[in-house]
Chains A and B, each alone.
Chain A
Amino acid sequence: MRMKKLKSRRKSNSLTHPQQEATNPGDFSFNITKVAVAQICKSVGFGRSQVRALNTLTLVATKYLETLARSATSFSGVANRAQPNLLDLTNALHDISLHVGFKGAATLYGDDCFLKSAVLEDLSGFVSSTDEIPFAKPIGRPKERETEGSKPSPGGNLQRGGHIPEWLPGFPDVSNNEQCNKRVNGETLWENSASVLRHETEEFQEKRDGSNGGKLSKERRRVKFWIKEGKRVDMNRCRGNNLFSQSTDEEAEAEVEHKKSKVKQTLVVYQRRRKKVQ
């Protein structure tokens, strides 16, 4: 595909200041992306392109890629995971396609199955309908740097990289993963839940019925208290803030009698005051 340059003054600008046009067009990765984007444009039907237009489209493509990756990473981070999976990627694709719109965008999270999305269907249609356009030139893979940088440690773990100092303790043993996966109340990861994968409805019902419907599991006695003279007194025979201790019966009886006498005194006092006012 032949490149067409613009006016002479712009041409001189592009030659003298190549790094100011786009985000570092001198970058190796940028130039490779430019070749790939040019191939895609040619497959669409363009015979030629302006240099600035191709640079702009390449920049937009790299930004799109990076935006997808960042969205997917943030989705996975919100879900306490380090590695994004298909669901994070689908979420990111939805986010980025909402501007243009796709079928089912209004009811994204209301359906049973989350992976039955129009975006993925469009992509599968694209894959099946479009011919492959292999990249023009082969790219060399960067060498593995770990093999060069690792030094044999005297007694430490050889499998961890050289970036971890030797004086740090080793990683905990995670070979007992079965215990980690099972939770006490039957909780599972969201992506394995029925709302995502459309498991059997029975399983889903089980989960819902397993809980007590919002009630407390343990039977508790009713606690009553009333505030008198600035002190909170528990009528269930516990004094002060110590609600969890329970006194013996004898002490309780003594306390109850004491309270009754106090109540009588207060009542008497109030009656006298009323009479005076009247």
Chain B
Amino acid sequence: MNHNPQSSDGKHDDDSALSDFLASLMDYTPTIPDELVEHYLSKSGFQSPDVRLIRLVAVATQKFVAEVASDALMHCKARQAAVVKDKRDKQQKDKRLILTMDDLSKSLREYGVNVKHQEYFADSPSTGIDPASREE
């Protein structure tokens, strides 16, 4: 941070919690490496000598991706729970959780990102359906 929080007199919990969080950021290594984040930040005009801000951006992005992925996982599991008939099938499908465009578009919809396919007219109901979800 550019301003010094220690100049404030009181030992406010908020300030101390915030400074603790920023200090803990230096210990935590985000999945997205610092150099990559710096590349994207400099591409957008964000220039800061403070590494903690870069780590904060990386952590925020990681949290966002993790949330989207976990929502997609919930959609995937919900669909499998509806389809499951035997216990054996369920165990087999648990090992093969696949991130599909369908689940991803549903979870991204809640975050304001629209990745739906354009709807179109087709000859038969099964045209264009993903072969993995086609039950035949």
Contact residues of A with B, CB < 8 Å?
4, 6-7, 29, 32-33, 36-37, 39-41, 43-50, 52-54, 56-57, 60-62, 64-66, 68-70, 72-73, 82-86, 89, 93, 99-100, 113, 115-116, 120, 122-124, 126-128, 130, 132-135, 139, 141, 189, 191-192, 197-200
Bound complex: CA A189 to CA B66 (Å)? 37
Q: Are B53 and A86 in contact (CB under 8 A)?
A: yes
A-contact 0/1 string along B37-58, CB 8 Å cutoff? 1011101111111100100110
CB within 8 Å for A192 and B98 given contacts A60-B113, A134-B29, A135-B32 = no
Q: Which residues of A contact B50 (CB under 8 A)?
A: 85
> What separation, in Å, do the CA atoms of A66 and B46 have in the docked complex?
9
CA–CA, A112 to B41, complex, Å? 30
What are some 23 contacts across the A-B interface (CB < 8 A)?
A6-B130, A29-B36, A33-B36, A44-B73, A45-B73, A45-B97, A48-B98, A56-B115, A57-B104, A64-B65, A66-B44, A69-B44, A72-B46, A84-B53, A89-B56, A99-B112, A113-B14, A123-B60, A132-B29, A139-B36, A141-B35, A189-B3, A198-B14
Chain B residues positioned under 8 Å from A56 (CB to CB): 101, 104, 108, 115
Are B46's CB and A54's CB within 8 A? Answer: no
Instruction: State the main secondary structure of chain A at its contact with B.
Output: helix
User: What residues of chain B have their CB less than 8 Å away from a CB belonging to chain A?
Assistant: 1-3, 5, 7-10, 12, 14-15, 17-18, 21-22, 24-25, 28-29, 31-33, 35-37, 39-41, 43-50, 53, 56-57, 59-66, 68-70, 72-73, 95-101, 103-104, 108, 110-113, 115, 130-131
CA distance A2 to B99 in the complex (A): 11
For A90, give the chain B residue with the smallest CB separation: B56
- Given the interface pairs A66-B40, A73-B44, the reply to whether A60 lies near B101 with Cβ below 8 Å is no
Closest Cβ of chain B to A67, distance in Å, is 8
Q: From the candidates A7, A57, A70, A191, name the one contacting B44 in the complex (CB within 8 A).
A: A70
| Contact yes or no, B68 A47, CB < 8 A | no
Residues in chain B near residue A192, CB distance under 8 A = 3, 7
Best-surrounded residue of A44, A45, A65, A115 (most CB of chain B within 10 A): A65
Give CA–CA (A191, B3) in the complex, Å.
8
